[in-house]
Amino acid sequence: MKREQDFTEYVHARQDRLFRTAYLLCGDRERAKDLAQSTLARLFRHWKNAQRADNIDAYARSVMVRIYMHEQRRARHERELHERLDPPAAPEHTDVRLTLLEALDLLPPKARAVVVLRYWEDMSVETTAKLLGCSEGNVKSQSSRALARLRDMLPAHLLAGTEPSAADI
């Protein structure tokens, strides 16, 4: 009974943050809800271990990232079976947030996870590496490549923080 009460208190306190992180990873509201729900279900099953962890939030994020990466691998495998020949369309000149989310959606799953954890969740290289189960050097190189790719995909006026010129439109 105490276990369920502790878990319920944790969920009420952290569910918005977990959903936000899930949304940034997925880029889709419904998938984010599913990811957050799957994370909470797994967290509940392993609540004793989570409570023993130094940081329950880090434990929950680790669970979420592992579930996300597993789902992405499975989805990529399915996509490869039915791959389209057309390249993805370039993001439109819309609201900065939407444009950035579209660009994030074009990154591979691990690169997207690195960008979200490092720059939205403001995690250190070391923490990100632990969550993703890779080396710090891998996080640094993934970050560098992902940011370079985002710079290539995003319109110049978004990177400079200025209004688009006639040539950009």
Domain ranges of the chain: 1-83, 91-162
Please report the pLDDT score of residue 166 as a whole number: 41
pLDDT of 46: 92
CATH architecture for residues 1-83? Orthogonal Bundle (1.10)
Q: Which of 149, 125, 147 is nearest to 137 (CA)?
A: 125
Question: How confident is the model at residue 168, as a pLDDT?
Answer: 42
pTM: 0.57
Task: Provide the CATH number for the domain formed by 91-162 in this structure.
Answer: 1.10.10.10
CB count in 10 Å sphere of residue 97: 8
Helices 125-132 and 56-81: crossing angle in degrees, nearest 10, is 60
pLDDT of residue 3: 82
| Residue range 53-95, pLDDT digits in tens | 899 999 999 999 999 999 888 877 777 666 654 555 554 545 6
Q: Which are the contacts of 71, defined by CB distance < 8 A and separation ≥ 6?
A: 35
pLDDT of residue 87: 52
Residue ranges, the chain, pLDDT below 70: 80-96, 98, 155-169
DSSP annotation of 140 reads H
